[in-house]
Structure formats: C-alpha cells, structure tokens
Structure 1
Amino acid sequence: MSDDISSGLSATTRTAVIAGVGGYVPPRVVTNDELARRLDTSDAWIRTRTGIAQRHVIDPGTTTGDLAVEAGLRALKNSGADGADLVVLATTTPDRPCPATAPAVATRIGLPHVAAFDVAAVCSGFLYALQTGAAAIGAGFAERVLVIGAETFSTLLDPADRTTAAIFGDGAGAVVLRAGERDEPGAVRDIHLGSDGGMADLITVPGGGAEQRSRGGFPGPEDLYFRMEGKSVFFAAVRRMAESSLTVLDRTGWQVADVDRIVAHQANTRIIHAVAEQLGLPPERAVLNIERVGNTSAASIPLALAGGMADGALKAGDRVLLTAFGGGATWGAATLTWPDLPRA
C-alpha cells in the first residue's frame, strides 16, 4: 500500500483558488542575544546553524486561537470577502486538548455556524489543511474556505534546551480559498502528502496524551516538553521534501526549471537550501522569512506566503512550489500559480 496520497485536483475543473493571504506574529521579539544571556549559546552559533536572528513569542495569556483569529481576519480582508463556508485550522498547540480550537476561532471571526475543525500534522499541517480545503471545494462542499496555520510553540519548549529554544517562534498565517478554474491565476494545481509513523519519536511531545495517561499517573514536566532528534530530522526532511516536490511537479506537468519560487517550511536555512540543491533549484528562488520569525511550524508556509506577497518576492503569475516536513512523520508538497493580490 502506498504511504502517500495525492489530491486528485487534476481530475476536476472545479479548483481551489487562493483569493487572499494574511499573517500575524505577536509583538514581543526575542533576539539571539537575549537567548544567549540565559543559555549556553551565542548569536553567531544560532545564525550559523539555523539562519535565525530573532523570533516572536506570545505574552502570558495569549493563545493560539488569538493568533489564528488575527491571521484569519487579515486573510479575509485581503480577499475582499466577509465570510467562508469552512474553517480548517492546522495546529500542534491547540488552546485545549478538547474541544478543537477552530470552532472558537470561527465564531470570533464572525462565522459562528460554519463547519470548523483542527488538523494536526505539525510542520506539515498547513499543507494537510490546504488539501482538506481544496478537496472540500473540489467536491462542491464549500465555495470558500479559510485555511489557517497557527502555533504557540513557546508553550511546549524546555527553557533550558538551547537547541529548541533557539529554533521555534510563535505566529499564524492564513489563506482564503474560493472555487475557480484550474487554469486561472491562484489555482492550487496539485497536492501530494505522505507519512511514516515509524519516525514518530523523531519529533514529539511524549507526555500528556492518551498513551501516557493510560499507564496511570501524571506526566512530569520533562514529559510535556517538545523533543526533536535534530540530525535525523535534517536528513529525513531533505529527502522527503525533495521526493514529494518531484512527485507533485510531475503530476502538475512542470519541470523543476519551471518553478519561479519555492516556499518551503521554514525549518532552518540549511534544510531549505539543501532541498533546493537536491531539486536543482538556485537558492535565490527560495522565499525566506526564517531570519525574522524562526520556525513557526504549521504557521510557517502561510506566514512566508504573506511575507513574500508583502515584500514583492511573490509576483502574479509566478509558478510556486510549496513543501514541508513535520512530526508524525508527515510531509507534502503543492503547486500553484500566484494570484494578483493587493499587498497586505
């Protein structure tokens, strides 16, 4: 049995089209120098290994839902729409284990009775949510879908772990999808997704779930922190992102040279450049915002799209490749043409 799926978007003329983009990061900035004052690290060490200079972190009392609402409202405003039929929220840091965060986000945005649910695929979450929204439009279930990626990863990090503390930041990004035609600007051409549960321990928060609770007792503080096997993740991420990218390019009918921009999950610059190299793409075709916001997990790609639109890195008609790798392990890639949107 295949370990991946493709969207089948090419089988129908009814296609999801990106109609708006929005991003939001909390105002508090944590620089590398600030981290260096409390951890055994330095600005040079962090920049060399990750490409990150700063990250945004929530203040006490701010939640993932708060960030998702702001990004969602900005995407709707950018699209010129005042509503959607479906809200899909990709997050690894929901406001509560139960219920899902998406219904509350939808209500706060002004969509109190639409279908709304969470998707959990860690750093690949936005692509999984994008596939869900695109499929809903393709099937005629929805005319307009709000897809959000939002994370407050700072709530999962061990403050004494210099590696994870240096990498991750908080933020949210969103896109509005509308029903359209496959050949129009903004059309999501194809999506490829995959997973391998055998790599579950590479990226994990081991405690707090049913697996731990079923054994009795309560998790210790160390069990609730995010853990990652960095070296293994690096090689798996490069391999799977490159493979998934080639698969979706082939399904779309594009050659690698046809790609104007690659928007990869902003894990670190070394991974992004390694994926570009594996594909044979010049590194300057990568859209990057990791230096300013760090790794924001499921929010990473939509935040990079919003940033690329704002600074002009993404231009109408650009053939864009999206790709990500995350916990699960999960991965994916998507192709689309960039629409003519007002700069946010």
Structure 2
Amino acid sequence: MVFLTGIRIAGTGRYVPPLTADNNDFAAFLDTNDEWIRSRTGIVTRHISDGEPSWHMGLEASRQALEAAGIAPEQLGLIIDTTITPDYSTPATACVIQRELGAVNAMAFDVNSACTGFVCGLDMAARYLATDPALSYVLVVSNENLSRVVDYTDRSSCILFGDGAGACVLERRQGLYSAYMAADGTGASSLYANGNRRTCRFATGEHTYPEDTDPRGDFLRQDGKAVYRFATEAMPRAVQQVLDQAGLGTEDIDLLIPHQANLRIIETAAKKLKFPMDKIMVNLEKYGNTSSASIPIALDEAVRSGRLRRGQRVCLVGFGAGLTLGAVLFEY
C-alpha cells in the first residue's frame, strides 16, 4: 500500500526505568555469563521496572514527544497505544494516558501486535490522517513492562527482555509513504504469554476456577529456533515489500530501524537484504528487547542524536508474536 498523502513525525520521546540490570546481574542467579549473553544476543544491559505502571512509562514518553512537536495535548485527535503488557484488561492504556495528558479531544484505543505493534500503530495513524481531514495530530505510544511476564528461571529467554516506552506525534504531509503488514497465525504458539485462563461455566452452574496445572504457565514462552527462522525471513521480506511498492531500492534508504530483538537476527537479515550495517540503527545493547517499544525508543535516539535528519528516508520494520511482521517507509 502506497499513499500519496504521507506522514511527518512532528516529535518523538522515550522513557526507560532508572533501574538497570547488566549481564553480570543475571550471572548471579543463572548458569550464564556476560560473554555468553553478549556473543549470542548483543545485549549488555536492560532497564527493569521497579513498580512503574505501563501507562506511566508511556505517559512520560508521550510528554516528551508532545514537547518536541511543540503542540498542546488538546491538539491531539487520536491516541494509539500498542502495549502487550497493559495494567488493566480494560480500560485501554491509551485512555489512561489521554486522561493524564489532558488530551480531551482525542479518541483513544489500544493495539496488540506484539513486537510489530509500533509499526502497526503508525500505519493505522497514517490511514486515519489520510482519510480524516479534520484530524491534525495523532500520538502513537508503545510502553512495555515485560518484566511482568518474563520467567527469570528460563535462561534462554529472561536475558533478552527489558522495559521501557517510546512515542511519536504524527501529522499529515504530502510525500512518500509505503507500508506492508502481514501475519501468520500458524506460528502463534512459537511465542506467547497466557492471559486470564480462568473459566466460569455459568450455564451449568460450575462457577469454579480450575487448578492451574502449570504454576509458571502465565509467563512468556518462546520457541527460540522457530522465532529466529521467522524473524530472519520476515525482516528482509517486509523491507523489500515497501521498497518494491515505492519503486525504490535498498540504496534509497538512509536509515533502517528494525525491532531490537537480537543482534544476530539483525545481522542475518541485513546480509539477506545486502544492506550495510552502518545504515542500521542498533541500540539493543543498552535496552534489550522491549517488544513494541524498541522501535520508537531507537527512533527517538536516532532523532535526538542527529543520526536521522529531516529529508532522509527511514524504514521501520517489526516482527514478533502472532506471528506478525510489518514495515513502513517514509521521509523524516
């Protein structure tokens, strides 16, 4: 899908909890070490929530994005939140952030596309902006409290994840915008975390909760090999799709910002694309995998460091549980 009406990122922001855990902290209670984690993932440290709600992290990132955009909360017409670790089943996290911001004129809802969430949210925002002339600004915010669902006895997964939030304010602009979204539900069991599994058979009068046969069953579970195979295929496929739709080549991308899952995944996908690593934003060594928050955190860091400048073409690409994948290409 290519729009003649594109998007402009008016402002970005990010927030990470002050508490950090480096690889040696994990080695203190797991059979692992710093070299083992670095060589397999590229991760050195990650930020861990010390009780901050998901909405609070998203709120702080959103305030930064609004400040950078130079707009008041009342100017927002829509808030899209992409968390997979909400504080409540209902209301939507976006509604809590709307309240705290004082964005009284904004509609608000949540999206769950796991690590692809920010890309999906941004694409939804682009579609709203393209079809609603009364809409001026959209806030897309991703906030993840993955420490809530990580099993810290599982060495293969717990070392990967961190907490944090990223946000951006979008507005309408004429120009390049290409997007590709896809899903493969046959791989849903490759990466999952159980939700509320309680059942209540009201019709038969059995109003009891069954025993949980797996005391750790609500933690995040993943088939590492299956996820790796999917990710190393999904990332180059999604990027190539948006390029083909726009009639461009990899040489036309100034900066590629992928989901920060694992350095090996990014390097393997880059080789398949024949895309140089020096044009890829990688910051997972500082944050680990923050699911849907990883791309907007990296985006904000790229903007504030001057690595991404006005007029440059940027491609954002995500892949994750679902299984889902998506990419967007536009001019910053």
The alignment's TM-score, normalised by the length of structure 2, stands at 0.93
Note if 1:41 corresponds to 2:32: yes
Aligned to 1:264: 258
- In the alignment, the residues of structure 2 paired with residue 31 and residue 214 of structure 1 have an alpha-carbon distance, to the nearest angstrom, of 43
- In the alignment, the residues of structure 1 paired with residue 221 and residue 250 of structure 2 have an alpha-carbon distance, to the nearest angstrom, of 34
**Secondary structure of 2:307's match?**
coil
Note if 1:320 corresponds to 2:310: no
**CA deviation after TM superposition for structure 1 residue 121, in Å:** 0.5
Query: Structure 1 218/262 Cα, relative in aligned 2: closer, same or farther at 3 Å?
Result: farther
Equivalent of 2:276, from 278, 282, 285? 282
Matches within 5 A, 1:41-120: 41-60=32-51, 62-83=52-73, 84-120=76-112
Name which one, 1 or 2, has greater alpha-carbon Rg.
2
> Is contact 2:175-2:331 (8 Å) kept?
no
Note if 1:205 corresponds to 2:193: yes
- In the alignment, the residues of structure 2 paired with residue 310 and residue 218 of structure 1 have an alpha-carbon distance, to the nearest angstrom, of 50
Supply the AA of the counterpart residue of 1:64. S
Q: Deviations over 1:208-249 (max 9, x none)?
A: 25xx63685254431110001111101111111111111111
- In the alignment, the residues of structure 1 paired with residue 267 and residue 310 of structure 2 have an alpha-carbon distance, to the nearest angstrom, of 24
Supply the AA of the counterpart residue of 1:136. Y
**Secondary structure of 2:216's match?**
helix
Equivalent of 2:173, from 173, 180, 199? 180
Which has the higher mean CA deviation after the structures are superposed, 311-320 or 229-238? 311-320
- In the alignment, the residues of structure 2 paired with residue 191 and residue 91 of structure 1 have an alpha-carbon distance, to the nearest angstrom, of 21
**CA deviation after TM superposition for structure 1 residue 310, in Å:** 2.1
Query: Structure 1 51/214 Cα, relative in aligned 2: closer, same or farther at 3 Å?
Result: farther
Aligned to 2:140: 147
Q: Deviations over 1:98-148 (max 9, x none)?
A: 221110111101114521000000000001111111111001162110001
**Secondary structure of 2:242's match?**
helix
- In the alignment, the residues of structure 2 paired with residue 146 and residue 54 of structure 1 have an alpha-carbon distance, to the nearest angstrom, of 29
Equivalent of 2:11, from 8, 17, 20? 20
**CA deviation after TM superposition for structure 1 residue 57, in Å:** 0.5
Supply the AA of the counterpart residue of 1:178. E
Query: Structure 1 111/279 Cα, relative in aligned 2: closer, same or farther at 3 Å?
Result: same
**CA deviation after TM superposition for structure 1 residue 316, in Å:** 2.4
Equivalent of 2:150, from 133, 144, 157? 157
- Structure 1, unmatched stretches of 5+, are 1-5, 184-188, 339-344
Note if 1:234 corresponds to 2:228: yes
- In the alignment, the residues of structure 1 paired with residue 269 and residue 312 of structure 2 have an alpha-carbon distance, to the nearest angstrom, of 19
Supply the AA of the counterpart residue of 2:199. R
Note if 1:121 corresponds to 2:107: no
- In the alignment, the residues of structure 1 paired with residue 127 and residue 153 of structure 2 have an alpha-carbon distance, to the nearest angstrom, of 42
**CA deviation after TM superposition for structure 1 residue 156, in Å:** 0.3
- In the alignment, the residues of structure 1 paired with residue 331 and residue 7 of structure 2 have an alpha-carbon distance, to the nearest angstrom, of 11
Note if 1:135 corresponds to 2:135: no
Aligned to 1:341: none
Supply the AA of the counterpart residue of 2:265. I
**CA deviation after TM superposition for structure 1 residue 306, in Å:** 0.7
**Percent identity between the aligned chains?**
37
- In the alignment, the residues of structure 1 paired with residue 125 and residue 9 of structure 2 have an alpha-carbon distance, to the nearest angstrom, of 11
Note if 1:336 corresponds to 2:330: yes
Equivalent of 2:246, from 252, 267, 271? 252
Which has the higher mean CA deviation after the structures are superposed, 194-203 or 304-313? 304-313
> Is contact 1:22-1:75 (8 Å) kept?
yes
> Is contact 1:158-1:165 (8 Å) kept?
yes
**Secondary structure of 1:246's match?**
helix
- Structure 2, unmatched stretches of 5+, are 202-208
> Is contact 1:264-1:301 (8 Å) kept?
yes
Supply the AA of the counterpart residue of 2:3. L
Note if 1:168 corresponds to 2:158: no
The size of the alignment, in residue pairs, is: 321
**Secondary structure of 1:227's match?**
strand
> Is contact 2:98-2:108 (8 Å) kept?
yes
- In the alignment, the residues of structure 2 paired with residue 18 and residue 312 of structure 1 have an alpha-carbon distance, to the nearest angstrom, of 15
The alignment's TM-score, normalised by the length of structure 1, stands at 0.90
- In the alignment, the residues of structure 2 paired with residue 281 and residue 269 of structure 1 have an alpha-carbon distance, to the nearest angstrom, of 15
Aligned to 1:3: none
Equivalent of 2:267, from 266, 273, 278? 273
Q: Deviations over 1:248-287 (max 9, x none)?
A: 1111221111112110000011111111111111111110
Supply the AA of the counterpart residue of 1:48. S
**Secondary structure of 1:137's match?**
helix
Q: Deviations over 1:302-335 (max 9, x none)?
A: 0000111222222222221111101011000110
**CA deviation after TM superposition for structure 1 residue 207, in Å:** 4.6
